[in-house]
Structure 1
Amino acid sequence: MAVKFLFAGVIFIISFLVTVKLCACWSHMGPSIHSCVLYLVTGLLALIGILSGCALIFISTRRTSKHHTLLSALHHFIVKYHRLYVGSRMLKKFRAACKNPREAQELLLQKIIKKNKNTDYGYQFRLGEIHSLEDLRQKHPITDYDHYRRFINRLSKGEKDVLTAEKVSRLILTSGTTGTGIEIYSAMYISSEAFMGLNLWPFEDGTSEYALNLTENVFEFIKEEDMDKPNPKTYFVDEVEVGQKYELVLSQKYGFYRYRFGDLVKVTGFYQNSPKISFLYRKASILNLVGEKVDQHVIHDSLSVALNPWKDQVEMKHYTCAEKGLVPEQKNSQKLGLYYVFFLELKSNFGDELPDDLNTEILAEVIQKNLYERHEFYRVFNNTKQITTPTVYLTKEGAFTELKEYILANSSASRAQFKMPLKLRTREMAEFLLEHSLP
């Protein structure tokens, strides 16, 4: 395979030399329009020949697929190195913004406003009067999806210049971020709304950390304790504190301004002068019966520790949870009070059978103990008997795969966007998992 590309490269180089020789012969023809055209054409062919020849000789030194033709190999080479070039320029711009985050955010906001101030939304919310980040904070309301619903309905009908001056080619259903309750490596922090951060530390141990994408989004932060206030104070990138938990608020060129999309993050440090963050959870995945607000990090940790006695025998493939009221009570249930419900799909490391001593009632007691130790407000409401011991169901193997298919068949979510819900949203989902639980 390499010989083929090497041979082709040499042929291209020879063709280049022949073309140069022809140019030398044509030079005796004297100046004329005809000779100028010949010079131009032969010069272009010479350039293509030498570049293609060099590329093919380079390709011959690399391992290539046996299915590549000369043209497909050249195409792959061009696309790959063009992307590397573009990516290196974007990374350079990304790093420059991280050195001066406030300045980068001010410039980006001005660019966004200049582009979109003459849209219908821009006129209605007087974007032209916003000249700085402080103006944005003072003059534009914090928003959620309902704020944009009527504008998006118009976009879906083909209207132009509604939210953004950009040409709208398609609308994407939001499905949340890439964050999960179980730690996995993630190169980017991304959602339907925006590309929000880049993981510059892929080989470091621990939770994935992201440098904020200051070149495409204007970020604001709401402290976790202020999330439920009617008009919470926001902080810009140069105003946040390491160790604090915040809800993210976004403004970007596609028409969202001060938009709350529900992601909670923790500021873990700084990359140059820009905050580094780790994803914690989505607001929609919080368990909240009486105001305790237990997040998915606490839940996942409590479940994992509860399974420690069987850690050599089973592993947790999937889990989800719900609050009492969403899950139908089983017959003969004598349980009183409010409680959480957990569905776990476990994989046995020794055949198909789970350990005989893996009792759901014991498991529920241990999960209760772990939640009690890890969450202050859960402890308060458990002490007052407002929240009682959770209920645990072990599902059959493959139950969550079937749940995925059920959700896709009964919603408008796409397969590419699907993320397994860490908190059940409908009674039908709960009933589905009950039907697929072990007796």
Structure 2
Amino acid sequence: MYSQILCGLYQNEQVLRVGAVFASGFIRAVKFLEKHWVRLCHDIRKGTIDGEITDPNVREAVMKILKPNPKLAAFVESECNKESWKGIITRLWPNTKYVDVIVTGTMSQYIPILDYYSNGLPLVCTMYASSECYFGLNLNPLCDPSEVSYTLIPTMAYFEFLPLNKIDGNADSISATEQEHLVDLVDVELGQEYELVVTTYAGLYRYRVGDILRVAGFKNKAPQFNFICRKNVVLSIDSDKTDEVELQNAVKNGSNHLSNYNASLIDYTSSADTSTIPGHYILYWEITKNNQNPIPDSVYEECCFTVEDSLNSVYRQGRITESIGPLEIKVVENGTFDKVMDFALSQGASINQYKTPRCVKYGPILELLNSKTVSSFFSPKCPQWVPGHKKWCTLD
């Protein structure tokens, strides 16, 4: 990453696009630049490459490009040394036309911070793919991120679709009962949601990718799909079931309270803590602040309550009957989610496919998150569930 950013800065006027596979990876790169810009400026000024870069092939490749450029170093130094990093992308790379990054599904939480760094450049989601195979393309790449849909290309793999109400398992393979309900690409229906199933040239047969898609429309007769969520991300304490989309919306509503204090949510994950009775949801939040003013505890408590107030009726009923305890937010140190990613990569995860897990059950990652926790807050009040009513009120 250091070498890529160094070359990108050195050739800053030639850069036409910036990005990464996922929004989280691109934010990680910007944070890396924020941490190491002094060393990068030194290398640009002297025409050298930092001694920590030890791979001889990398050093040789970079040195073919790099020559001393004090004027450029002074420019980068001036921009990075400013109090605000708003628009840093367009300031350092003035000819950048767009940010090439996936911001669908839970990646949508990064849109505000991407807009902040890029001065509102178009966020372009070009393709839909996974480690199993490529699936399709976004035929309208300059559309608003909320309107992104992907047209599946039938020569990429053989695609089948399991209606959401017919899913009865979580295994990688399709059960005999589920096979009876599989739908071909030409038979999907507008507005319906399906789990994607693929048979690939590499030998996967009726493999469950784990993605939930909704039919958004058609290009001629080719179906176009919205990516909704990952199927297996679920929080549960009792009879409650909280999926990824619901959790994302609840976290978004709760974190809105931070904006009044010039703060925002960088990243988050969750876990279901059943070590106590009753068990409760825990959210791990990494927060960035644009000033030194402290955020009152009452604001975090209001965040907790708003998250709970945004969850489903089964969860809220559980809170009333005390089968579920008050939701907890644990604020972690800045850089914690970088360390979570580093740990995942050390265990063999692919950097191109890595996404922050939205629900954590793995002990070592939970230990890491807990070790980086700097403060903890609980929901101070309980939403009231009224049988037969969809509306909720609050108990003081």
Scaled by the length of structure 1, what TM-score is found?
Answer: 0.53
Give the superposition deviation at 1:239. 2.1
Q: Tell me: CA distance 1:226–1:389, structure 2 relative to 1, closer, same or farther (3 Å).
A: farther
1:272 maps to 2:220: yes
- Matched letter for residue 324 of structure 1: D
Instruction: Write 1 or 2 for the structure with the bigger share of strand.
Output: 2
Secondary structure of 2:208 counterpart:
strand
Q: Distance in 2 between matches of 1:383 and 1:365?
A: 13
Give the superposition deviation at 1:426. 0.3
Q: Distance in 1 between matches of 2:305 and 2:325?
A: 10
Q: Do the aligned residues in 2 keep the contact of 1:210 with 1:278 (CA within 8 Å)? A: yes
1:392 maps to 2:338: no
Q: Do the aligned residues in 1 keep the contact of 2:257 with 2:299 (CA within 8 Å)? A: no
Give the counterpart of 2:106 among 163, 181, 188. 181
Secondary structure of 2:148 counterpart:
coil
Give the superposition deviation at 1:321. 0.8
Q: Do the aligned residues in 1 keep the contact of 2:136 with 2:151 (CA within 8 Å)? A: yes
Q: Tell me: CA distance 1:208–1:376, structure 2 relative to 1, closer, same or farther (3 Å).
A: farther
Map of 2:137 onto structure 1 = 198
| CA displacement 1:146-167 (0-9 Å, x = unmatched) | xxxxxxxxxxxxxxxxxxxxxx
- Give unpaired runs (5+ residues) of structure 1: 1-65, 68-176, 330-334
Q: Tell me: CA distance 1:380–1:276, structure 2 relative to 1, closer, same or farther (3 Å).
A: farther
Q: Distance in 2 between matches of 1:178 and 1:366?
A: 24
Give the superposition deviation at 1:293. 3.1
Alignment of 1:23-42 (within 5 A): none
- Matched letter for residue 222 of structure 1: L
Map of 2:168 onto structure 1 = 228
Give the counterpart of 2:186 among 238, 246, 250. 238
Give the superposition deviation at 1:393. 0.5
Q: Distance in 2 between matches of 1:217 and 1:395?
A: 42
Give the superposition deviation at 1:423. 1.5
Secondary structure of 2:304 counterpart:
helix
Map of 1:345 onto structure 2 = 286
- Matched letter for residue 395 of structure 1: V
Q: Distance in 2 between matches of 1:189 and 1:420?
A: 18
1:367 maps to 2:310: no
Q: Distance in 2 between matches of 1:268 and 1:278?
A: 6
Alignment of 1:126-145 (within 5 A): none
1:255 maps to 2:203: yes
Map of 1:321 onto structure 2 = 270
| CA displacement 1:35-55 (0-9 Å, x = unmatched) | xxxxxxxxxxxxxxxxxxxxx
| CA displacement 1:330-371 (0-9 Å, x = unmatched) | xxxxx63232211011111224x5422454433222211111
- Give unpaired runs (5+ residues) of structure 2: 1-63, 66-101, 112-123, 170-174, 376-396
Q: Do the aligned residues in 1 keep the contact of 2:257 with 2:303 (CA within 8 Å)? A: no
Aligned residues: 252
Aligned-residue sequence identity (percent) comes to 27
Q: Do the aligned residues in 2 keep the contact of 1:178 with 1:189 (CA within 8 Å)? A: no
Q: Tell me: CA distance 1:378–1:268, structure 2 relative to 1, closer, same or farther (3 Å).
A: farther
Instruction: Write 1 or 2 for the structure with the bigger share of helix.
Output: 1
Q: Distance in 2 between matches of 1:414 and 1:377?
A: 36
Secondary structure of 1:319 counterpart:
strand
1:336 maps to 2:273: no
Secondary structure of 2:373 counterpart:
coil
Q: Tell me: CA distance 1:417–1:308, structure 2 relative to 1, closer, same or farther (3 Å).
A: closer
Q: Do the aligned residues in 2 keep the contact of 1:396 with 1:436 (CA within 8 Å)? A: yes
Q: Distance in 2 between matches of 1:314 and 1:274?
A: 43
- Matched letter for residue 429 of structure 1: I
Map of 1:414 onto structure 2 = 350
Scaled by the length of structure 2, what TM-score is found?
Answer: 0.58
Map of 1:430 onto structure 2 = 366
Q: Tell me: CA distance 1:290–1:356, structure 2 relative to 1, closer, same or farther (3 Å).
A: closer
